[in-house]
Amino acid sequence: MINKRINQVKRLISDTVAFLHLKLYIPPENDKVLLISFTNPNLYHRFFYLMVKFYQLSGYTICYPMNFSRFRNLRNKDRYLGLMVREKNFLSINKKNLPPNVIELKDEMFSPDYFVNYFEQQNKQDNVFHVPMSFHPFMYNQGIWDHTINTDRKRFNSIFCYGNFDEQAYLDIKRTEFTVETRTGLLAFFQKKENFISIRGREEVISAGDTLNEKYVFAIKENYGIRMEDIRELLSRFNFYLCCPGVVMPLCHNVIEAMSVGTIPLIQKEYAEVMYPNLRHRTNAVLFKDLNELEHLIHNEIFKYSGQEILTMKNNVLEYYKKYLSPAGMVKNLNQSILEKKLIYLQAEHRSVKFIK
C-alpha cells in the first residue's frame, strides 16, 4: 500500500513537471495550424493520435488547449494516445495568435461507426469520409515511416506475409459480422502447400537468389519477429503481400506498409471493400472471394501475370498510397472533407465493431 502511494506521488510529480514544460512551449510561427477542440479523444485511442500525427508530419502546428486533468488522462491512459503529450514539441496547449485559416477538429464532426456504410448502406460514400488505416503508430513516432526504399529492385515473384499468428488472439473476428478468413485460417491454408516457406531471418531473403520465386513466404512472429525498421525494405523484395485481417476487423496496418513500397495486396474481397476507395482487382490488388477462389488464383493466375501487368499494378499501388494513405494525401483529403462538411468516420477498433448490427 505504501509503495503504491509512493508511485502515485512520483507519477504526479512527473506529470506536473511535464505539464509545466508544455505550458512554456511556444511553437514557431506557422500559417498551417490544427486546432483540436475534442472532449473525448480516448474514444478513438491510437487512431486519434495517428490522425493528428499526420497533420504534424504535413507541416502543421498542433494546438490542443487542455487543463492538467486532461493532460494526465492523455499521458497515462493509452500508450499510443499518450504519445501526443510525450513526443517532444508535438503540440502546444496555448491558444494564442492563431491564423485565420486554422483547421479545427471537433467531436461532433466525427463518428466511430466506421463500418455502417458497408453493412447498412451498400457501401455508398456520399457525404462521408473514412480516415484510412495507417502504419503501426511507432513507425511514425520513431521516424522510420518514410525511410527511402528501392521500389524498383528486382523482386521475388512470390507471396509474402508476416505478423503474429497467435491462434487465440486472432479468432475474435469470427464472433463479428465480418466473413473474412482468419489469419490462422490463411496460414493453415498455405502451410499445406508444397511451396510454403517459413523464414527465420532477413538473411534468408537477402541471400536467396532465385530460390524464393513462386513461393509462399511467411515470417511468423514466433519464428522471426521482423524489426520495425526492416519491415518496408523486406516487403519491397516481393511482388505480392497476403493481407491477413486484424483481431476484430479486416483492417490491419500491415497492408498499408506493403502498399507504401508498391507490394501488391493479395486480399479478400470484403477486406478490399472496407478500404476507401475500394481496392480493385488487377488494378491495385489481386482479390479473392473465398479460399476456393484463392486456390484457383495461386495455381492458375497470380504467378502468370506478365512483367508489364506486375509493373502497372505496382505503380497503381504506389499511386494509391501516395494519394490516400500517406500523411500528405490523407490530410489533403480530410481537409477537403471538412470544407465540404462531410461526416468523418474515424476508427475506434473494438468500439467500431460493436456498432455493427
What's the pLDDT tens digit per position in 215-250? 999 999 999 999 999 999 999 999 999 999 999 999
Query: What type of residue is 199?
Result: I
**Mean pLDDT in the chain?**
95
Tell me: the pLDDT tens digits for 63-98? 999 999 999 999 999 999 999 999 999 999 998 888
Give residue-wise pLDDT tens across range 274-308.
Answer: 999 999 999 999 999 999 999 999 999 999 999 99
Count of domains for the chain: 2
Rounded Cα distance, 305 and 295, in Å: 16
Q: Is the pLDDT of residue 131 over 80?
A: yes
Question: Is residue 6 pLDDT above 90, yes or no?
Answer: no
Are 213 and 182 a contacting pair, CB within 8 Å?
no
CATH of the domain at 317: 3.40.50.2000
Same-domain status, 183 and 84: no
What stretches of the chain show up as alpha helix (H) in DSSP? 2-24, 45-57, 68-77, 83-86, 116-120, 137-141, 183-191, 203-206, 231-235, 253-259, 269-272, 291-300, 307-320, 327-339, 350-354
In DSSP terms, 286 is beta-bridged to: 266
Query: pLDDT per residue over 165-209, tens digit each?
Result: 988 778 889 899 999 999 999 999 999 999 999 999 999 999 998
**240 and 310 inside one domain:** yes
Rounded Cα gap, residues 218 and 163, in angstroms: 8
242 with 307, same domain? yes
Q: Are residues 252 and 152 in the same domain?
A: yes
Within this chain, do residues 296 and 183 fall inside the same structural domain, yes or no? Answer: yes
Model pLDDT for residues 37-66, shown as the tens digit of each residue: 999 999 999 999 999 999 999 999 999 999
Does one domain contain both 285 and 201? yes
d(CA 253, CA 266): 15
pLDDT of residue 9: 81
Buried b (16+ CB within 10 A) or exposed e, 151-175: beeebbbbbbbbbebeeeebeebee
Lowest mean pLDDT among 9-13, 72-76, 162-166: 9-13
Is the same domain home to 102 and 190? Answer: no
Report yes or no: 91 and 326 within 8 Å, Cβ to Cβ: no
Proportion of the chain in helix, strand, coil states, percent, rounded to 5: 45, 15, 40
pLDDT score of 146: 97
Going by C-beta distance under 8 Å and a sequence separation of 6 or more, which residues neighbour residue 78? 42, 45, 46
Under DSSP, is residue 172 helix (H, G, I), strand (E, B) or coil? helix
Asked if 76 contacts 82 with a C-beta cutoff of 8 angstroms, the reply is yes
Name the percent of the chain lying above pLDDT 90: 89
pLDDT at position 195, please?
Answer: 96
Same domain, 148 and 63: no
Residue 343 within any structural domain of the chain? no
Are residue 315 and residue 207 in the same domain, yes or no?
A: yes
C-alpha–C-alpha distance, residues 159 and 266, integer Å = 8
pLDDT, average across residues 12-33: 94
Residue 146 three-state SS? coil
Q: What is the reported pTM?
A: 0.96
- 230 vs 329: CA distance, rounded Å: 24
Residue 1 confidence (pLDDT) above 80 = no
For 192, 308, 317, the CA distances from 312, given in Å and listed in that order, are 31, 6, 9
Integer Cα distance of 53 and 75 in angstroms: 15
Identify whether residues 285 and 166 lie together within a single domain: yes
DSSP 8-state symbol, 211: T
Same domain, 147 and 206: yes
Which residue range forms the structural domain that includes residue 242? 141-327
Instruction: Say if residue 262's pLDDT is above 90.
Output: yes
Which pLDDT does position 7 carry in this prediction?
A: 79
